[in-house]
Structure 1
C-alpha cells in the first residue's frame, strides 16, 4: 500500500512505501497535515485558499 501526500515544499513523499514524486507548490503547515489526515484518503479540499489533496494507492 502507498499513502502519499502532496507537500507544499515542492515534492510528495510516502507515509508508507518508497515512492517519491516531483511537485511544485509551497506552504507546508503542521495543521494542514493534521487536517488532511483527519479526512478520508482521496478527498480533495481547499485550505488557506489553495487546493490540496491526499492520495491513497493500493
Structure 2
C-alpha cells in the first residue's frame, strides 16, 4: 500500500501545469473550505502560489 502511494506521488511529479491551469484550479477553491492551518503572513511568500521550480 505504501509503495503504491509512493509510486503515485512520484508519478504526480510528471504533471505539468501552465500558469493558466494553476489560476483556474485556484479560482475553484475557496480558502475557507480548505481544512488546516494557514501560513502566517510572514511566510505567505513560501506557499505553492509563489513557487518557481526551474525546468530540467
Question: TM-score, normalization: structure 1?
Answer: 0.28
- Structure showing greater relative contact order (alpha-carbon pairs closer than 8 Å, 6 or more residues apart): 1
Structure (1 or 2) with the larger CA radius of gyration: 2
TM-score (normalizing by structure 2):
0.29
